[in-house]
C-alpha cells in the first residue's frame, strides 16, 4: 500500500459503519429562508442535571435576539459527554425553557418530541454527521489517530509542569502526531483504544485578533494543542460538535458564557479547517456575587441561587425573573417599564450592540422589587391560581387552606388589589404568602403568639375601652369614611389626637394619636402591627370573626 492507500485503509477501518456522505448532509440542511438581518440563535445546554440561572440568562438573550430580528431560536442539547450526563435532564431543560416563556422555534416541544428541519437536536443522535467531517479531516491530514494512554498523557503533563512549559498535547509532545501510518494500522489491528485529534498549525506565541460582540476586539494566544475531536466512544468533543452544528444549523449568532472565550482560537481553527461559516460570538460575563469584599461567579456548589430550582422553590413568578434578567442585560429596562407599564416584556428591545461586558452582581433585593411589582399587577384570581399551583408542590398546609376556601382566599388576595391606586406590595414570592395571610384562618390565627407589648403606648385599660367601644358601634355595612370617623371618635374620647399633625403640634396633650388606636384593632385581629388596609381586612373577615377576636384579645390581657 502506498501512503494514500494506507490512509484510506485507516479511515475505512475506523468508519466502516458510516453510511452518510458529505453531500447527504449538505442536502439535508438547505439554506434557511430568512429575511436579511434575521438572526438564528441557539440555547445549547449540556444535560448535567443542573440548570444554572446564567443559562436561562443567555437563553433569554438568544431568544430575544432571534425574535427581535424575525429569526429562529432553537434548543440543542449537547449530550456528547456521556460521563457527565444525568438522566432526566433533557426533560428538565425543555420544561424550564417553556416555563420561562422562551419560545423555541425548533428543538423540542413541550412533550420532548423533536421539532424542526435542522435536527436531530440531540447531539448524540448526530454522531454520524460529525464522523463524516472527522473522516474528512483525517483524510486531508488535518487530523490524526492517537493511541496515547492515560498514563502517557499524565506523564507528559508531569514533565511539562516540572519544566514549567505550556501544558498540553502539542507539537513535539504530541507523540502520535508524527507516527507512521504503519504504526497506526498495527495498533488498530491490535484493537487498541484511540481518539482522533486535530492537527493544530497554531503557535501559542502568536496572538490572534478576534472581534467579540460583547467584549470588542480581543487578542488571544493562538491554539497549539492537538485537541481531541472524536473520543474513543466515537462521539465528538464539544469543540468539534459546536463547529459542525452551528454551521449546518446555520446559527448566525452564538451567545454563551465567557468561560468559552479562551477556546475561541481552537474554534476558529476548526471552522477554518472545515471551511465553515463563522458565526458572530457574544461572550457574556457570568452573574456574580460578592464574597469577602471581592466578586466571584455564582457557584453551583456554594450558592443555592445559582440553580433555577431555588427560584421555583421560593416561588418567584417566572415573568418577574425574566424582568430581572432583562434588567441585567439592559440597565434602561427599568425606566422603559416605568414609562410603559402596560406593554409586554417582549416589546422591549434589548440593544445587542451594547451588552454589558463586565459581570453583573446578583441582587436579590432587585429581584424582589421586580417580583413585588409584578405580583402587585396581577388579579386576585391570578394570584390565587399561581399560589395554589406553587403550594401544591411546596407547601401542603397552604394548599389545603386555599383549596378549601377558594372564595375567602380570593377576597383576601383582593385586598388593596383590583381597582385601587395604591396596590399592596407585601408579597414578593409565593413562599411569603403563608405568613402574610395565615391570620385570616382561625386555626392558624390561634397558633400565632401575639406580643402584648405591642399595645404600647396604649394602656391595658384603654385597650379594653377601645375594643368595647368599637364593638358597640361597629356596623359591617359602614363605608370607609364612616368606619374611620368612628375610630377617630373613640380616639378623641380617650384622649388620643385624631391626626398625626394634631399630635405633633402638641404631644404632651395626648396619649398618642388615632393610628395607635387602630393599631390595637389590627393587633387583635391579625396579631401584627403592620398589615394591608385594616378596613378591607375587616370586610373580608366578617363581623362574627371580628367580634370574636376582639373579645378574645381582651381575655388575653386579663
Residues that bind ligand GLU (CB under 6 A): 44-46, 78, 238, 242, 254, 256, 260
Q: How far is the CB of 332 from ligand GLU (least distance, A)?
A: 26
Task: Select 256 or 424, whichever has its Cβ closest to ligand GLU.
Answer: 256
* Residue 329, C-beta contacts closer than 8 angstroms, at least 6 positions apart: 57, 60, 61, 64, 350, 355, 356
DSSP-based three-state secondary structure for 361: strand
DSSP-based three-state secondary structure for 420: coil
What single string gives the DSSP state of each residue in 263-298?
GHHHHHHHHHHTTPPPPEEEEEPPEEEEETTEEEE-
Q: How far is the CB of 79 from ligand GLU (least distance, A)?
A: 9
Task: Select 192 or 300, whichever has its Cβ closest to ligand GLU.
Answer: 300
Q: How far is the CB of 76 from ligand GLU (least distance, A)?
A: 8
Task: Select 138 or 298, whichever has its Cβ closest to ligand GLU.
Answer: 298
Q: How far is 211 from 153, CA to CA, in rounded Å?
A: 34
Task: Select 51 or 174, whichever has its Cβ closest to ligand GLU.
Answer: 51
Other C-beta atoms lying within 10 Å of the C-beta of residue 347: 9
Strand (E) positions, 122-246? 143-146, 195-198, 207-212, 216-221, 228-230
Q: How far is 496 from 512, CA to CA, in rounded Å?
A: 5
Residues 512, 543 contacting (CB under 8 angstroms): no
Q: How far is the CB of 61 from ligand GLU (least distance, A)?
A: 11
Task: Select 44 or 383, whichever has its Cβ closest to ligand GLU.
Answer: 44
Grid coordinates representing 543? 363581623
Task: Select 80 or 395, whichever has its Cβ closest to ligand GLU.
Answer: 80
Task: Select 61 or 541, whichever has its Cβ closest to ligand GLU.
Answer: 61
Task: Select 258 or 416, whichever has its Cβ closest to ligand GLU.
Answer: 258
Q: How far is the CB of 66 from ligand GLU (least distance, A)?
A: 14
Task: Select 64 or 488, whichever has its Cβ closest to ligand GLU.
Answer: 64
Bin 164: left if φ > 0, else alpha if -120 < ψ < 50, else beta. Answer: left
Residues 439, 526 contacting (CB under 8 angstroms): yes
Q: Which residue has the cell 471551511?
A: 275
Q: How far is the CB of 284 from ligand GLU (least distance, A)?
A: 10
Q: Which residue has the cell 481553527?
A: 269
Strand (E) positions, 388-441? none
Q: How far is the CB of 391 from ligand GLU (least distance, A)?
A: 33
Residues 375, 427 contacting (CB under 8 angstroms): yes
- 318-329 and 53-68 helices cross at what angle (nearest 10)? 80
Q: How far is the CB of 300 from ligand GLU (least distance, A)?
A: 12
81: Cα separation from own chain's centroid: 23
Q: How far is the CB of 78 from ligand GLU (least distance, A)?
A: 4
Q: How far is 510 from 329, CA to CA, in rounded Å?
A: 54
DSSP symbol at 530: -
Q: How far is the CB of 44 from ligand GLU (least distance, A)?
A: 4
Q: How far is the CB of 74 from ligand GLU (least distance, A)?
A: 12
Q: How far is the CB of 42 from ligand GLU (least distance, A)?
A: 7
Q: How far is 191 from 27, CA to CA, in rounded Å?
A: 35
Q: How far is 456 from 483, CA to CA, in rounded Å?
A: 23
What single string gives the DSSP state of each residue in 135-166?
HHHHHTTSEEEE---HHHHHHHHHHHHHTTPP
DSSP-based three-state secondary structure for 208: strand
* 360-361 and 294-297 strand pairing: unpaired
Task: Select 248 or 413, whichever has its Cβ closest to ligand GLU.
Answer: 248
Q: How far is the CB of 257 from ligand GLU (least distance, A)?
A: 6
Task: Select 256 or 488, whichever has its Cβ closest to ligand GLU.
Answer: 256
Q: Which residue has the cell 477556546?
A: 263
Strand (E) positions, 323-452? 360-361
Amino acid at each position: 500500500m502506498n501512503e494514500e492507500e494506507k490512509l484510506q485503509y485507516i479511515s475505512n477501518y475506523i468508519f466502516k459503519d458510516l453510511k452518510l456522505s458529505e453531500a447527504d448532509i449538505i442536502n439535508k440542511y438547505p439554506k434557511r429562508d430568512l429575511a436579511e438581518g434575521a438572526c438564528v440563535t441557539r440555547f445549547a445546554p449540556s444535560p448535567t442535571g443542573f440548570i444554572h440561572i446564567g443559562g436561562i440568562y443567555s437563553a433569554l438573550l438568544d431568544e430575544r435576539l432571534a425574535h427581535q430580528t424575525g429569526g429562529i431560536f432553537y434548543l440543542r442539547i449537547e449530550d456528547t459527554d456521556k460521563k457527565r450526563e444525568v438522566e432526566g435532564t433533557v426533560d428538565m431543560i425543555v420544561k424550564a425553557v417553556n416555563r420561562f416563556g422562551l419560545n423555541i422555534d425548533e428543538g423540542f416541544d413541550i412533550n420532548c418530541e423533536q421539532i424542526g428541519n435542522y435536527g436531530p437536536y440531540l447531539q448524540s443522535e448526530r454522531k454520524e454527521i460529525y464522523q463524516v467531517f472527522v473522516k474528512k479531516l483525517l483524510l486531508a491530514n488535518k487530523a490524526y489517530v492517537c493511541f496515547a494512554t492515560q498514563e502517557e498523557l499524565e506523564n507528559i503533563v508531569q514533565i511539562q509542569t516540572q519544566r514549567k512549559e505550556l501544558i498540553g498535547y502539542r507539537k513535539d509532545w504530541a507523540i502520535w502526531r508524527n507516527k507512521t501510518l504503519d504504526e497506526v494500522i498495527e495498533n488498530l489491528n491490535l484493537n487498541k483504544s484511540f481518539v482522533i485529534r486535530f492537527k493544530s498549525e497554531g503557535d501559542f506565541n502568536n496572538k490572534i485578533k478576534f472581534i467579540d460582540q460583547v467584549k470588542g476586539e480581543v487578542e488571544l494566544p493562538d491554539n497549539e494543542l492537538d485537541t481531541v475531536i472524536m473520543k474513543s466512544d466515537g462521539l465528538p468533543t464539544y469543540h468539534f460538535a459546536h463547529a459542525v452544528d452551528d454551521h449546518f444549523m446555520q446559527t448566525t449568532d452564538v451567545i454563551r458564557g465567557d468561560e468559552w472565550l479562551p477556546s475561541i482560537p481552537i474554534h476558529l481553527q476548526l471552522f477554518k479547517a472545515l471551511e465553515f461559516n463563522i458565526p458572530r460570538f457574544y461572550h457574556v460575563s457570568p452573574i456574580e456575587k460578592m464574597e469577602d469584599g471581592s466578586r466571584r461567579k455564582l457557584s453551583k456548589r456554594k450558592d443555592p441561587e445559582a440553580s433555577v430550582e431555588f427560584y421555583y422553590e421560593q416561588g418567584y413568578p417566572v415573568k418577574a425573573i425574566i424582568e430581572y434578567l432583562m434588567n441585567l442585560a439592559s440597565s434602561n429596562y427599568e425606566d422603559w417599564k416605568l414609562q410603559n407599564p402596560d406593554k409586554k416584556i417582549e416589546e422591549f428591545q434589548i440593544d445587542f450592540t451594547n451588552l454589558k461586558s463586565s459581570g453583573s452582581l446578583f441582587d436579590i433585593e432587585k429581584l424582589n422589587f421586580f417580583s413585588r411589582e409584578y405580583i402587585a399587577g396581577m388579579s386576585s384570581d391570578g394570584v390565587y391560581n399561581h399560589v395554589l399551583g406553587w403550594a401544591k408542590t411546596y407547601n401542603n398546609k397552604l394548599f389545603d387552606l386555599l383549596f378549601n376556601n377558594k372564595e375567602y382566599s380570593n377576597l383576601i388576595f383582593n385586598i388593596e388589589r383590583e381597582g385601587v391606586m395604591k396596590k399592596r406590595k407585601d408579597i414578593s414570592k409565593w413562599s411569603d404568602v403563608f405568613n402574610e395571610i395565615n391570620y385570616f384562618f382561625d386555626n392558624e390565627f390561634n397558633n400565632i403568639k401575639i406580643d402584648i407589648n405591642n399595645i404600647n403606648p396604649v394602656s391595658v385599660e384603654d385597650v379594653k375601652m377601645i375594643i368595647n367601644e368599637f364593638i358597640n358601634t361597629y356596623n359591617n355595612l359602614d363605608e370607609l369614611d364612616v368606619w374611620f370617623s368612628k375610630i377617630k371618635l373613640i380616639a378623641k374620647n380617650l384622649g388620643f389626637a385624631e391626626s398625626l399633625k394634631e399630635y405633633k403640634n402638641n404631644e404632651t396633650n395626648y396619649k398618642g394619636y388615632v393610628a395607635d388606636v387602630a393599631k390595637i384593632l389590627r393587633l387583635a385581629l391579625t396579631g401584627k402591627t403592620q398589615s394591608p388596609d385594616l378596613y378591607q381586612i375587616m370586610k373580608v373577615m366578617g363581623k362574627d370573626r371580628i367580634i370574636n377576636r376582639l373579645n378574645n384579645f381582651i381575655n388575653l390581657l386579663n
